[in-house]
Amino acid sequence: MKEEIQEWIQNNSINEVVEYVKKLDESKYIKTINELIDDLKTTNENDIRDTIAIVLSDLRCNEAVIPLISLIFDSRCQNHRGTLLYALEQLDSSDYIVKLLPLIYEGKFETRWSLRFLLQEKISEMKRGDINECKDLLSNKIEEYEEDLQVLYDVAENIFGMSFDEE
């Protein structure tokens, strides 16, 4: 990859990379995209990974969907999923929502909210069966949380004497 692109990525100069890549002829474009995807998958630097993810998203590079999904579940990215989810918003990623949905209740704050925005963006593109599967997953999880809350309220009120009056 050209040094110029690497420098822009190091400096988080997303627009410069995107504009440069858009001007490449087809063979150089494909080569550069493949190099960016390879770098996305192999770097251990979260800032670099995030910058590349946004570049690929801005380029509407659907070839990046599967690598992004893999990285979201990669332990190296456990605390850095938000930008990867954000990058999926502009890509054809609706077929992967069911796989991502558990992050809405297992992920950290940024992950949950990034996924929420992705869901909002992709719901109209989702297949009816996937939507129903998501609804089932959410219903089951809500039921599970309601049971957990009942126990928590019981312990808080009946053992610790706490009160949760609604006003």
For the stretch 75-85, pLDDT in tens is: 999 999 999 99
Residue 130, both tokens: 């996937």
Element (H, E) at 143: helix 128-158
Query: Please, which pLDDT band fits residue 1 given cuts at 50, 70 and 90?
Result: low
For the stretch 93-138, pLDDT in tens is: 999 999 999 999 999 999 999 999 999 999 999 999 999 999 999 9
Please state, in angstroms and rounded to a whole number, the distance separating the CA atoms of residues 85 and 56.
12
How would you class 81 by CB atoms within 10 Å of its CB: exposed for 0-12, middle for 13-18, buried for 19 or more?
buried
For the stretch 26-56, pLDDT in tens is: 999 999 999 999 999 999 999 999 999 999 9
Q: What is the largest CA-CA distance in the chain?
A: 71
Domain boundaries, the chain: 3-123, 127-161
Q: Would you call 133 helix, strand, or coil by DSSP?
A: helix
Number of residues written out for the chain: 167
Entry pTM: 0.89
Query: Please, which pLDDT band fits residue 167 given cuts at 50, 70 and 90?
Result: low
Checking if the pLDDT of 166 tops 80, the result is no
Strands (E), the chain: none
